[in-house]
């Protein structure tokens, strides 16, 4: 489809795999160069980690976040180098919103790597391992999930935190409360409600200490107005003021990811084609469930990227 309005979306945690981008790195020098740049900031070889490390190593939040940021930015740089058109809009799922900030020029890449490493470390530290939990709920309306969480809290924290697509919501909070909410969602008619292999309850009030600690570091970093509008997780709207974007990135840590609304906003802005820029195809799959009129694809491999450049050429 040519001459259609294009948006880029960037994945969050869970899309990382050992061996990812190996093909793209052989085809596009931008990939290796971007990983080298990140490695010099981090003080370890990020490319070697994601090619030859162990899955449990790249699943450590402090490493996952800079890894996925670097992967997405490297593919976006390759996209532009191959003559890919600049998208009209961008959005990212949770950590992926930081990839959007870098690719839209809000944030320098090296600053982005530093901040998401800290973001990951602080988020993991905010709740001791084993005390928090997350779970996916399939086949239940958003409002029914919210009611189940409210009735299951019993003085603890449990809430809907990722509105991923109609009928797919992730909940998070204190481990015991999440357990009660899983049972409540099943009783309310959910097709499935299952714990996720994540130890920290992301995007809940339990993350507010992490946000408070990251806020001064965000404040001390230069943010620019975005060259490409970004639809933000917190409210599914665009924002042009750098100070307001800083505030949103702090708030995002303890607020729900309103992904369904973000994709619906893009469609409302006239987006017809959506490219997932990063490893995996989770967001491309969600987009089709949110709005079937969207043409969604991912560009993790060199073949996919080259084909998408051609398909989206004006």
Active site residues: 94, 203
Contact between 201 and 132 under an 8 Å Cβ cutoff? The reply is: yes
Contact between 115 and 218 under an 8 Å Cβ cutoff? The reply is: yes
The DSSP H or E segment spanning 192 is strand 192-195
CA distance 188 to 211: 33
Closest listed residue to residue 12, CA positions, set 305, 269, 286? 286
Contact between 292 and 165 under an 8 Å Cβ cutoff? The reply is: no
What's the number of CA atoms in the CB half-sphere (13 Å) around residue 125?
A: 13
Closest listed residue to residue 92, CA positions, set 255, 245, 276, 287? 276
Residue 5: CB atoms within 10 Å: 15
Residue 310 buriedness (CB in 10 A; 0-12 / 13-18 / 19+) = exposed
Contact between 8 and 277 under an 8 Å Cβ cutoff? The reply is: yes
CA distance 63 to 121: 9
Closest listed residue to residue 254, CA positions, set 197, 212, 204? 204
Q: At what angle do helices 142-152 and 175-187 cross, to 10 degrees?
A: 130
The tokens describing 21, both together, are 């981008």
Greatest alpha-carbon span in the chain: 55
CA distance 267 to 260: 11
């Amino acid at each position: 489809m040519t001459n259609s309005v294009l948006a880029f979306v960037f994945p969050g945690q869970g899309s990382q795999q050992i061996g990812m981008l190996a093909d793209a790195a052989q085809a596009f020098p931008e990939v290796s160069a971007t990983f080298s740049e990140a490695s010099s900031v981090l003080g370890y070889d990020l490319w070697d980690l994601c090619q030859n490390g162990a899955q449990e190593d790249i699943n450590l939040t402090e490493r996952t976040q800079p890894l996925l940021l670097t992967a997405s930015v490297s593919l976006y740089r390759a996209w532009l180098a191959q003559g890919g058109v600049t998208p009209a809009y961008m959005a990212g799922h949770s950590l992926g919103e930081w990839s959007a900030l870098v690719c839209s020029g809000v944030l320098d890449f090296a600053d982005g790597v530093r901040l998401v490493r800290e973001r990951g470390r602080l988020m993991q530290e905010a709740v001791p391992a084993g005390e928090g939990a997350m779970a996916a709920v399939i086949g239940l309306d958003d409002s029914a999930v919210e009611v189940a969480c409210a009735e299951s809290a019993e003085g603890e924290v449990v809430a809907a935190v990722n509105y991923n697509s109609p009928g797919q919501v992730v909940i998070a909070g204190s481990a015991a409360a999440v357990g009660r909410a899983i049972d409540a969602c099943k009783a309310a008619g959910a097709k499935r409600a299952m714990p996720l292999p994540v130890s920290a309850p992301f995007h809940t009030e339990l993350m507010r200490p992490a946000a408070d600690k990251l806020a001064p570091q965000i404040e001390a970093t230069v943010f620019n107005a975005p060259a490409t509008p970004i639809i933000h997780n917190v409210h599914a709207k665009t924002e042009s003021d750098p100070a307001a974007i800083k505030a949103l990135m702090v708030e995002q840590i303890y607020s729900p990811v309103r992904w369904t609304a973000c994709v619906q906003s893009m469609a409302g802005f006239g987006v017809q084609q959506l490219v997932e820029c990063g490893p995996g195809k989770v967001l491309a799959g969600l987009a089709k469930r949110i709005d079937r009129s969207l043409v969604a694809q991912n560009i993790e491999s060199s073949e996919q990227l080259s084909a998408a450049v051609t398909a989206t050429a004006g």
